[in-house]
């Protein structure tokens, strides 16, 4: 048995160097014990003079993506898992990554996904406080990632906050942006209580004024925002108090019924108050598209040709959400291009909405179908599949940050809100979705399925009315 010791935050280059050495000796995975304690470098146990040319391994691109993510995972078995996959590829299993039932592949995909989620959480939950350090004003944040993700997460902050000096401290190291230069440093002790920070107050004030009691669902909130992160998010100090007050405030709102629906002007004023800086981020968007393409979170990726992610400008005012790609979308890789898409295009044109200025996506990114002879017949995604895919829809919404989201049909509603709602009950008025406006209408394919031409025409007219309301809303917002 050979001991190979790698640093806990070993990068791709380090791992590949080690793996090449092992492959050059034709060492099967069972004969290597990888450890991630820093108990000595690899070269204490391996000689370095192995000719590299003998160990060129051609790996699929997907393996490289997987490698870069899995390496960030904290699990002690990540190195041996990666080496096992590499070994199998080297021994002729070039398609091993396509074997979705394979235990190694599943484990690697799980690790990769956990790393993606951790990066995403870091982007969402880091809150900076202004401090004076060595006489200079800097913005400091404390965050506790679960995995070794600092490298993966850093560019997002550089792009977003390039014009200020900042420091993110974590138990596994620091990231600093100073004088337009990025630095990774050793771990810091946890900074003192955040209570004295100017930014905390600002952020807290912002959070309280945008708080809508009717939106409060504690379970949903804590699921999205793990309690682990609460201590560093000043606004969470107010959550218990707000939960307490929420019941009374909801009651007061209900007592104002039947005319309790917010007036347009009020909603508009509210939107202006909470106008959040919107950041469109082409790089991270591209990265997200690639991630969607390699997503295996639910079984739908198996039979489908490819994932179909959303399309449109990242500063679009309006986002349309459909159900899932159909046959033609699955083949072309673009949303809403088949029969339903053509009807959708026609309706948009009639209302004067330019499709190329809108962002169009689906609740579920892979085509679900049943084979019938040569045809592939659309099959409705299950609640579990919709729920699995919400992760991506949520990221698209955060990236585009539209003024209005239009849900086309019941699956879109489920994907957006996590709840089932009747389209007929909710359509025609603007709802609130975590601070974003939401309009519900039917799915264009529903219009195509109506057998009676008069009924179909009447429903199409109602669909146009909904689109017209959408246009007026987002143009005014």
Q: Which residues bind ligand SF4 (CB under 6 A)?
A: 292, 295-298, 300-301, 307, 364-366, 385, 388-389, 392
Least Cβ distance, residue 336 to ligand URA (angstroms): 4
The option from ligand SF4, ligand URA, none interacting with 118 (CB < 5 to 8 A, set by class) reads none
Residues in the chain: 477
CB closer to ligand URA, 15 vs 336: 336
Cα 459 to Cα 447: distance, rounded to the nearest angstrom = 7
The verdict on 381 binding ligand URA (CB under 6 A) reads no
Under the criterion CB under 6 A, does residue 330 sit at the interface with ligand URA?
A: no
Give residues with Cβ within 8 angstroms of 55, minimum separation 6: 20, 21, 23, 24
Burial class (CB in 10 A: 0-12, 13-18, 19+), 94: middle
Query: Torsion over CA of 291, 354, 322 and 451, rounded to 10 degrees?
Result: -150
HSE-up of residue 75 (Cα within 13 Å, Cβ side): 17
Q: Whole-number minimum distance, CB 386 to ligand SF4, in Å?
A: 9
DSSP 276: P
Closer by beta carbon to ligand URA, 168 or else 440:
440
358 interacts with ligand URA by CB under 6 A: no
Q: How far, rounded to the nearest angstrom, does the alpha carbon of residue 415 sit from its chain's CA centroid?
A: 13
Note whether 422 and 456 are within 8 A (CB).
no
Options 322, 381, 402, 415; binder of ligand URA; rule CB under 6 A: 322
What order do you get walking across the sheet with 166-170 strand by strand?
129-133, 136-142, 166-170, 173-178, 181-185
Spatial contact of 34 and 4, defined as CB atoms under 8 Å apart? yes
Q: Which residue is nearest to ligand URA (CB)?
A: 322
Instruction: Pick from 310, 312, 341, 381 the residue near ligand URA by CB under 6 A.
Output: 341
Q: Binds 417, which of ligand URA, ligand SF4, none (CB < 5 to 8 A, cut-off by type)?
A: none
Does 336 interact with ligand URA (rule: CB under 6 A)? yes
Residue with smaller CB distance to ligand URA, 262 or 339: 339
**Is residue 312 close enough to count as binding ligand URA by CB under 6 A?**
no
Q: Give the range of 89-97, 119-127, 324-332, 351-359 binding ligand URA by CB under 6 A.
A: 324-332
Contacts of 218 (CB under 8 A, 6+ apart): 239, 243
**Which listed option, ligand SF4, ligand URA, none, makes contact with residue 338 (CB within 5 to 8 Å by class)?**
ligand URA
Is omega for the bond preceding 335 within 30 degrees of 0, making it cis?
A: no
- Picked from ligand URA, ligand SF4, none, the partner binding residue 326 (CB below 5 to 8 A depending on kind) is ligand URA
- Contacting range for ligand URA; rule: CB under 6 A; set: 75-83, 278-286, 329-337, 417-425: 329-337
From first CA to last CA, the distance across the chain in angstroms is 66
Question: Which spans of this chain sit near ligand URA (rule: CB under 6 A)?
Answer: 322-326, 329, 335-336, 338, 340-341, 362, 445
């Amino acid at each position: 048995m050979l001991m190979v010791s790698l640093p806990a935050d070993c990068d791709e280059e380090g791992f590949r160097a080690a793996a090449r050495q092992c492959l050059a000796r034709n060492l099967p995975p069972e004969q290597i014990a990888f450890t991630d304690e820093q108990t000595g470098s690899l070269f204490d146990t391996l000689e370095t003079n192995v000719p590299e040319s003998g160990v060129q391994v051609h790996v699929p691109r997907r393996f490289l993506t997987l490698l870069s993510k899995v390496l960030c995972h904290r699990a002690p078995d990540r190195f041996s898992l990666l080496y096992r996959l590499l070994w199998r590829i080297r021994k002729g299993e070039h398609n091993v990554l396509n074997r979705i039932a394979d235990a190694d592949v599943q484990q690697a995909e799980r690790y990769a996904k956990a790393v993606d989620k951790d990066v995403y959480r870091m982007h969402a939950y880091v809150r900076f406080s202004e401090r004076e350090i060595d006489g200079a004003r800097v913005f400091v944040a404390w965050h506790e990632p679960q995995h070794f993700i600092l490298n993966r997460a850093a560019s997002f902050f550089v792009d977003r906050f390039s014009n200020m000096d900042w420091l993110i401290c974590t138990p596994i190291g620091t990231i600093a942006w100073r004088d337009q230069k990025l630095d990774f440093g050793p771990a810091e002790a946890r900074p003192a209580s955040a209570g004295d920070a100017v930014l905390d107050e600002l952020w807290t004030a912002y959070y309280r004024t945008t708080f809508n009691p009717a939106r409060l669902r504690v379970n949903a909130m804590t699921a999205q925002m793990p309690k682990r992160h609460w201590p560093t998010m000043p606004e969470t100090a107010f959550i218990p108090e707000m939960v307490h007050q929420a019941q009374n405030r909801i009651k007061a709102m209900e007592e104002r019924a039947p005319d309790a629906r917010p007036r347009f002007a009020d909603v508009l004023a509210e939107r202006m108050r909470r106008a959040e800086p919107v950041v469109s981020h082409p790089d991270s968007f591209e990265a997200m598209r690639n991630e969607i393409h390699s997503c295996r979170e639910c079984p739908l990726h198996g039979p489908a040709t490819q994932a179909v992610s959303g399309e449109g400008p990242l500063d679009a005012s309006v986002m349309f959400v459909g159900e899932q790609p159909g046959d033609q979308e699955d083949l072309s890789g673009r949303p809403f291009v088949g029969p339903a898409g053509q009807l959708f295009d026609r309706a948009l044109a009639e209302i004067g909405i330019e499709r190329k200025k809108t962002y169009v996506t689906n609740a579920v990114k892979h085509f679900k179908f049943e084979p019938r002879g040569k045809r592939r017949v659309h099959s409705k995604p299950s609640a579990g599949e919709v729920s699995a895919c919400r992760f991506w829809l949520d990221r698209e919404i955060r990236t585009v940050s539209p003024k209005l989201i239009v849900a086309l049909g019941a699956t879109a509603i489920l994907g957006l809100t996590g709840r089932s709602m009747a389209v007929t009950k909710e359509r025609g008025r603007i709802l609130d979705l975590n601070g974003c406006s939401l309009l519900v209408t039917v799915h264009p394919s529903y219009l195509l399925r109506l057998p009676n031409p008069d009924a179909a025409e009447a429903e199409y007219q109602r669909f146009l009315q909904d689109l017209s309301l959408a246009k007026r809303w987002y143009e005014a917002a």
